[in-house]
Amino acid sequence: MSGGEWARYAGTMNIRRKLFRRWRGAWRGWTATLGALAGLAASTRGADPAESYAVEVSATVQSNPARITLTWTADPGVVNTYSVFRKDPGATNWTALINLQGTAMNYADSNVTIGRVYEYQVVRRAPTLTGYGYVAAAIERPVVDDRGKVVLVVDQTIAGPLATELDQLAQDLIGDGWTVARHDVGRADSPAAVRDVIRAEYVADPARTAAVLLLGHVPVALSGNLNIDGHGSRPLPADAYYGDVDGNWTDANGDGVFDQDEIPSDVELMVGRVDFADMPGAQASASFPGETELLRRYLAKDHAYRQGIRRTTPRALLGDRFEDYGGEAFAASGFRNFAALLGPGRTQVANTADNAPAAERWISLLAAADFQWVYGAGGGTVNSSSGLGLHGAFNDVWSSDLVAPGARGTFYLLFGSRFVEWNQPDNLLRAALAAPDYGLAAAWAGRPHLFFQHMAVGEPIGYGIRLSQNNRSLYTNQVNNNTRGIHVALLGDPTLRLQVVRPPGRLDIAPGGGAPALSWAPSADAAAGYHVYRSIAATGPFARLTTSPVTSTAYTDLSAPAGSFTYMVRAVRLEVSGSASYYNLSQGVFATATVTTPATGGSSGDIGGGSSGATGGGSGATGSASGGGAIEAWFVAALAAAALCRARLRPEGLRAKI
Ligand SMILES: [Ca+2]
Ligand SMILES: [Ca+2]
C-alpha cells in the first residue's frame, strides 16, 4: 500500500464515519479549548475506534493494608466481560484472577506484598472485538541502586568534537547507577565486528550487562526481506542484531544483508541509537544543523532531562488516521501505554479529520505545549506522515516540522509507511530526536504493538523495547502483526526513565574527625531523603552506605577504611506513576576523599601505615591535630569527576578499535 493509498484508506474510513466524525470534531474542538484554558488537566477522551482495542488500565496503590486497585476507562460500546490476569515479571504465562461483568471499571487486589512488582492484563470482551490492557504495578518498590552495565558504542568521528558531552553522558550514566563500558568504533567497521565488541562485554559479565547505546553513525545492520508496510519486500535496519548477543544471524548469499525476518533468539540487551547521519533537512526553509551539532544538541537535552533541568509534563498527545484497520488498531499502542504510565485522563486526542482546523491538529498541539508521550499515525513516507500536520491535501506533517519550530514531545511512538526505515535521509523518527528542546526517543509502534508499561515501576525505556522485541503473544493487541520482527527498534537513549528526581546540589567533604564528613545542598525533590554511596573508583561501581535514606543533608562515613574514594549522594522520592509507587533516585552528585587514618577498624596506633603510600602523600598523617583521623579532602564538581572518568574510559576506547 503506497503512502497515498494509506492516506486514501484513512480517507475512506473518514467518509464512512462522516456523521460520527462531525460530532466528534465538535467535541474535540471543545476539548482543545478546554485544554488551552485549563492546562489540560481534564480528560480529553476521543472517539477513535482504535481506543476500544486498548483497555486503558492504570492503578492506584496503598500500603496499609497492602492493595493494588486497577481502574480502567469505560468503553462506549457494549462490553460482555472484563477478565483480570496477573503474573510476576519474567513469567511467561498469565494466571487468571477474576472475570467481571461488562459494567465493571475496577478491581482491587489485596493478595499483594509491598515492594514487589506485579504485572496485570485486563481483557475486555465485546461482541465485535477484544481489547487488551497492561500495567506493571508495585507498592513502594525499593530503590534500584545498580542498573548494570551499559555499553556505550561511539562513532569515533564524534569522539573528538563531542569529547566534553560524551564525558558528561558517561558521568550521568554513572550517576544513574550504571557502569559504563565505552568503545569507539569506525563507520567502516562491519556490523559483525561491532557486535563482537558488544558481545565481549556481555560475555565478561552476562548478569550485569544490560544496555547498549549507539551514538553517532555506528554501522547499520540490515536484515530480512519484509513487506512491512505494503511497499514491497526489502531489508530493514536491524539494531536488534546488536542486542541479540547469541542468536544465529545468517547471511547465506554473502551480500552483507542478514537473512532473518524475525530475531533468531531473544534479545538480551536493551539497545537504543542516536544517529543524525544524512539529515539534511531537505524540506526545511533552512538546512538542519549538521550531524555533529544535532548530536551535541541531543546530548545536552539528555543531560537536561536527567538532571531535572528541563521538566516534562506527564500528559500525552495522540493523533491517528488509521483507526480500526482490521483489528490492528495501531494507535492502541498509544492509548494503553499512556494510561499505564501516566494514569487516566492524561491523553489528548488531536483532530485528524480532513477539515480539522489548523489549531486542533497534532503538530499544532505539539508545538503549543509539551507532552511527555506522543503517538502519531498516518500514511507515511520516510520523512512525513499524513493527517497530523499542515501540508498539502493530506495534511502532512514533515520531519522539518518536528525540528524547526520545536515540537515538544519527549517520547514518540509513530506509525506509518516507509519511516520504519530509520536509516533513510531526513527520517521522521530521527527527526523527532532533533528538535531543539525536547525529543529523546522514538519508535515505530503498531506492527507490532509496543509495551512500555514497566516504566511505571521505574524501569528505563529500553526495558520496553527489549520486551517488545522478544514478545510473541504474552502481551498483545487483537491483531498484532510482525511480532519479533528484526525492525523493532528504539531511536534514543535506552536508559532514560519516566520520572526524574532533581539531584542534590554540590557535594562537599570537609576534613577532620577521622572520617569523611559529607554535606550537600538539598534537592527540592528529596521527600524521602538521600542515599550515600562510596566507590574506590570514580567510574564505580558504587556501594550504598545508607540502609535507609538519611533525611538531613550531611553524613559522616565512619566505615571508611584507608584509601581514596569517590562518594556519591542521590536524592530519594517515593514516586507515584500511573500504576505504581516506587522509590526513585536522582542523578548522583560526586566528591572525592582520601582517608589516611580510618576512624574505625583499629586503635589509633594503627594509623593505616600500609596504605599511606597511596595518593595522599605523607602530609595527611601529620596534619590533623584533633582526634586521629587525618583526611585529605577536596571538592570536586561534576566536571572534574568526569575528567577522571574520561581518563579511565579512554583506554577502553583504544582497545576497542577493530
Ligand atoms: Ca544476505
Ligand atoms: Ca539471544
Using alpha carbons, list the distances in angstroms from residue 231 to 153, 226, 238, 423, 618: 32, 9, 18, 16, 73
Measured in Å, residue 477 CA sits from the centre of ligand 2 at 24
Give the per-residue pLDDT at 17.
35
Three-class SS of residue 181? Answer: strand
Give the per-residue pLDDT at 381.
96
User: Is residue 511 very low, low, confident or very high in pLDDT (cuts 50, 70, 90)?
Assistant: confident
Question: What is the distance between the alpha carbons of residues 210 and 645, in angstroms, rounded to a whole number?
Answer: 20
Measured in Å, residue 610 CA sits from the centre of ligand 1 at 61
Mean pLDDT throughout 604-621? 27
Which residues partner with 148 through β-bridges? 178
User: Is residue 552 very low, low, confident or very high in pLDDT (cuts 50, 70, 90)?
Assistant: very high
Using alpha carbons, list the distances in angstroms from residue 2 to 5, 229, 415: 5, 8, 14
Grid cell, residue 26, equals: 465538535
Task: Report pLDDT digits (tens) over 154-184.
Answer: 999 999 999 999 999 999 999 999 999 999 9
Measured in Å, residue 268 CA sits from the centre of ligand 2 at 5
Q: Which ligand is nearest to the CA of 195?
A: 2
Measured in Å, residue 483 CA sits from the centre of ligand 1 at 21
Measured in Å, residue 266 CA sits from the centre of ligand 2 at 4
Q: Write the secondary structure of 342-400 as one string of H (helix), E (strand) and C (coil).
A: HCCCCEEECCCCCCCCHHHCHHHHHHHCCEEEEEEECCEECCEECCCCCECCCCEEEHH
DSSP 262: B
Using alpha carbons, list the distances in angstroms from residue 498 to 154, 337, 407: 25, 12, 19
Measured in Å, residue 263 CA sits from the centre of ligand 2 at 8
DSSP 630: -
Measured in Å, residue 244 CA sits from the centre of ligand 2 at 4
Mean pLDDT throughout 421-443? 97
Please report, rounded to a whole number, the percentage of residues in the chain having pLDDT higher than 90: 82
User: Is residue 391 very low, low, confident or very high in pLDDT (cuts 50, 70, 90)?
Assistant: very high
Question: What is the distance between the alpha carbons of residues 423 and 218, in angstroms, rounded to a whole number?
Answer: 11
User: Is residue 452 very low, low, confident or very high in pLDDT (cuts 50, 70, 90)?
Assistant: very high
Question: What is the distance between the alpha carbons of residues 379 and 318, in angstroms, rounded to a whole number?
Answer: 15
Contact between residue 316 and residue 369 where contact means Cβ atoms under 8 Å apart: no
Measured in Å, residue 145 CA sits from the centre of ligand 1 at 43
For the chain, counts of helices (H) and of strands (E): 14, 31
Over 50: is that where the pLDDT of 645 sits?
no
Measured in Å, residue 224 CA sits from the centre of ligand 1 at 8
Task: Report pLDDT digits (tens) over 91-123.
Answer: 999 999 999 999 999 999 999 999 999 999 999
Give the per-residue pLDDT at 553.
98
Task: Report pLDDT digits (tens) over 17-75.
Answer: 332 232 233 233 323 222 222 222 223 334 899 999 999 999 999 999 999 999 999 99
Over 80: is that where the pLDDT of 627 sits?
no
Over 80: is that where the pLDDT of 354 sits?
yes
Measured in Å, residue 182 CA sits from the centre of ligand 2 at 22
Measured in Å, residue 529 CA sits from the centre of ligand 2 at 40
Lowest mean pLDDT among 23-32, 510-519, 528-537: 23-32
Q: Which ligand is nearest to the CA of 243?
A: 2
Mean pLDDT throughout 250-264? 98
Over 70: is that where the pLDDT of 612 sits?
no
Question: What is the distance between the alpha carbons of residues 104 and 259, in angstroms, rounded to a whole number?
Answer: 48
- How many other C-beta atoms lie within 10 A of the C-beta of residue 38? 10
- How many other C-beta atoms lie within 10 A of the C-beta of residue 163? 12
User: Is residue 126 very low, low, confident or very high in pLDDT (cuts 50, 70, 90)?
Assistant: very high
Measured in Å, residue 257 CA sits from the centre of ligand 1 at 4
Mean pLDDT throughout 275-302? 95
Helix axes 3-16, 18-38, angle to 10 degrees: 100
Give the per-residue pLDDT at 157.
98
Q: Which ligand is nearest to the CA of 255?
A: 1
Q: Which ligand is nearest to the CA of 244?
A: 2
Grid cell, residue 38, equals: 485549563
Q: What angle do CA 169, 175, 178 make, to 5 degrees?
A: 80
Give the per-residue pLDDT at 513.
56
Over 90: is that where the pLDDT of 78 sits?
yes
- Residues with beta carbon < 5 A to ion ligand 2? 244, 246-247, 265-266
From the number of C-beta atoms within 10 Å of its C-beta (0-12, 13-18, 19+), residue 650 rates as middle
Measured in Å, residue 259 CA sits from the centre of ligand 1 at 5
Which string of b and e fits 525-561 if b means at least 16 CB within 10 Å?
A: bbebbbbbbbbeebbbbbeebbeebbeebebbbbebe
Measured in Å, residue 247 CA sits from the centre of ligand 2 at 5
Question: What is the distance between the alpha carbons of residues 587 and 171, in angstroms, rounded to a whole number?
Answer: 9
User: Is residue 3 very low, low, confident or very high in pLDDT (cuts 50, 70, 90)?
Assistant: very low
User: Is residue 512 very low, low, confident or very high in pLDDT (cuts 50, 70, 90)?
Assistant: low
Task: Quickly list DSSP for 30-74.
Answer: HHHHHHHHHTT-S-B----GGGGGB--EEEEEEETTEEEEEEEPP
Task: Report pLDDT digits (tens) over 175-218.
Answer: 999 999 999 999 999 999 999 999 999 999 999 999 999 999 99
- pTM equals 0.86
Q: Which ligand is nearest to the CA of 466?
A: 2
Mean pLDDT throughout 268-286? 96
Measured in Å, residue 197 CA sits from the centre of ligand 1 at 22
Measured in Å, residue 264 CA sits from the centre of ligand 2 at 7
Tell which wins on pLDDT, 9 or 538.
538
* Structural element, H or E, at residue 98: strand 95-101
From the number of C-beta atoms within 10 Å of its C-beta (0-12, 13-18, 19+), residue 164 rates as middle
Q: Which ligand is nearest to the CA of 253?
A: 1
Spatial neighbors of 204 by CB under 8 A, at least 6 apart, are none
Give the per-residue pLDDT at 494.
99
Give the per-residue pLDDT at 601.
53
Mean pLDDT throughout 480-500? 98
Q: Which ligand is nearest to the CA of 251?
A: 1
Spatial neighbors of 375 by CB under 8 A, at least 6 apart, are 316, 317, 318, 319, 320, 331, 333, 334, 335, 338, 412, 413, 414, 415, 445
- How many other C-beta atoms lie within 10 A of the C-beta of residue 617? 12
Measured in Å, residue 238 CA sits from the centre of ligand 2 at 14
Strands 178-185 and 148-155 turn out to be: parallel
Question: What is the distance between the alpha carbons of residues 195 and 245, in angstroms, rounded to a whole number?
Answer: 7
Give the per-residue pLDDT at 397.
97
Q: Which ligand is nearest to the CA of 199?
A: 2
Measured in Å, residue 491 CA sits from the centre of ligand 1 at 24
Strands 209-215 and 270-274 turn out to be: parallel
Measured in Å, residue 578 CA sits from the centre of ligand 1 at 44
Over 70: is that where the pLDDT of 656 sits?
no
Spatial neighbors of 610 by CB under 8 A, at least 6 apart, are 562
Give the per-residue pLDDT at 37.
20
Measured in Å, residue 253 CA sits from the centre of ligand 1 at 5
The runs of H, that is alpha helices, within 149-213 are 156-159, 163-174, 191-204
| Mean pLDDT for the chain overall | 86
**Torsion from C-alpha of 644, 648, 650, 654, nearest 10 degrees:** 170
Over 70: is that where the pLDDT of 13 sits?
no
Measured in Å, residue 260 CA sits from the centre of ligand 1 at 9
